[in-house]
Amino acid sequence: MPQLDLPSGPPLFRQFPTALRFSVQEQSRNRLAALLLGLFVPVWYLLMISIAGNKDLEFKLYSTGEMLKVGGRNVTLITAGMNSLTMISGFVVFDAVRKALNFDRRLAFAGFRQSTLIGAKMMAIGIVTASIALYTALALFLFWRPGFTGWGAILLGFMAMTLTYGSLGLLLGVLVKNDLEGFFLIIMGGLTDTFLQNPLGNPAANKPVLQYFPSFGPMQFSVGSSLGDTVMWRYLGMGLAWAAAFALIGLVVFHFRTRSRRPTR
C-alpha cells in the first residue's frame, strides 16, 4: 500500500532475489507434482507406446507443406511427453499461484513493489517449468535415442509447452474461484490440445484447424527437427507467443488483484 514515509533500509532492487528465491520455493514444494513427475511421466511414455505400436504415420510439416513419414512410436512419445508436462506444469503453477494470491497481496501491501513480485513470479515459473521440461526430455532416453540435435529440439519444444501451460496455470490461478475448475480446465485443455496433434489418435491431425492450438507450434518444431531434418524456429516462436499471451493477461489480472483498494483522499 502507498506509504507516506518510505523506510530508508536496503535499496528496492534487493527485494528481487528474496522474492525470486521464495517464489521458486513455493512452486517447487508440490509433493503431488513431484510424484507425478517421477512416476507418471515414465509410466505414461510406456503406456502410450505400448498402445501406439510401431507403424509408420504421415505427419504434415506446415513450414514445407510436405508429408513426413514418421514412426508412430516416436511421434507418440513426443505427444505423450507434451501431454504429461502440460498437466504437471499447469498444475504446479496454478496451485502455487492460487494459494499464494492473498499472501502476495499482503506482501505488496507491506511494501513489495508489484513489478518485483510479478518479475520474480514469472522468472520462477520459467525456472520451474524448464526443470519439468528437462526431466521429461531426459526420461525420453529410456525409450528412444533421437540424437543430440533431435533431442535438443524436443527439449526446446517441451520447454515452450511447459512455459505455455505454466502461464495458463498462472492465468487460471488469478482468475478462477476454486481448485476444481482450474484443474479441470488444465487437464482437459492439455489432453485435447496434445492428443489432437498426433495422427495416430486423431485422423484429422494434419488439418489446418490444429494451427489454432497452443501445442501446434512446439509439436511442429519438435517433430520437424527430430524426425525430419527441418529446424523451424518460427514454430517454436508460435509456442512462446501463446506462453507470452497467457502470461501477460495473467500478470495484468495479478496486478489488479494485488493492488490496494483503500479510498485515500
Partner 1 sequence: MTVRPQHALTARDIHKAFGKHRVLRGADLTVEPGQLVAVVGENGSGKSTLLKAIAGTLAVDRGEVGLRGELGYCPQDPVLNSNLTVDQHLHYFAAAHRLTGLERADELVQLLGYEKYRTTAAGDLSGGTRQKLNLTLALLHDPDVLLLDEPYQGFDWETYLRFWDLVEDLHQRDKAIVVITHLVFEQERFDLLADLVDGRLTPRSSQEKEPSHASA
Options 60, 68, 71, 111; binder of partner 1; rule CB under 8 A: 111
User: Can you tell me the distance from the alpha carbon of 85 to that of 79, in angstroms, rounded to the nearest whole number?
Assistant: 10
Q: What is the dihedral of CA 144, 212, 33, 38, to 10 degrees?
A: 0
Binding segment for partner 1 (CB under 8 A), chosen from 9-17, 70-78, 80-88, 237-245, is 9-17
- The alpha carbons of the chain give a radius of gyration, in whole angstroms, of 20
Write the CA distances from 23 to 80, 96, 101, 120, 168, integer angstroms. 29, 9, 12, 7, 17
| 208 class by beta-carbon count within 10 Å (0-12 exposed, 13-18 middle, 19+ buried) | exposed
Options 9, 65, 203, 208; binder of partner 1; rule CB under 8 A: 9
Binding segment for partner 1 (CB under 8 A), chosen from 52-60, 64-72, 106-114, 151-159, is 106-114
14: DSSP letter:
G
Binding segment for partner 1 (CB under 8 A), chosen from 70-78, 96-104, 134-142, 221-229, is 96-104
Measured in whole angstroms, the distance separating CA 250 from the mean position of its chain's CA atoms is 14
Furthest-apart CA atoms within the chain: distance in Å: 71
The three cell numbers locating residue 163: 512455459
Options 69, 106, 145, 234; binder of partner 1; rule CB under 8 A: 106
Q: Which of residues 44-63 bind partner 1 (CB under 8 A)?
A: none
Find the shortest distance in angstroms from Cβ 164 to partner 1: 24
Helix (H) or strand (E) holding 58, with range, is strand 56-60
Binding segment for partner 1 (CB under 8 A), chosen from 24-32, 53-61, 183-191, 230-238, is 24-32
How many residues lie near partner 1 (CB under 8 A)? 36
22 binds partner 1 (CB under 8 A): yes
> Closer to partner 1 at the Cβ: 8 or 178?
8
> Closer to partner 1 at the Cβ: 19 or 78?
19
Residues forming the site for partner 1 (CB under 8 A): 1, 3-10, 12, 14-15, 18-19, 22, 25-26, 29, 96, 99-100, 102-103, 105-107, 109-112, 260-265
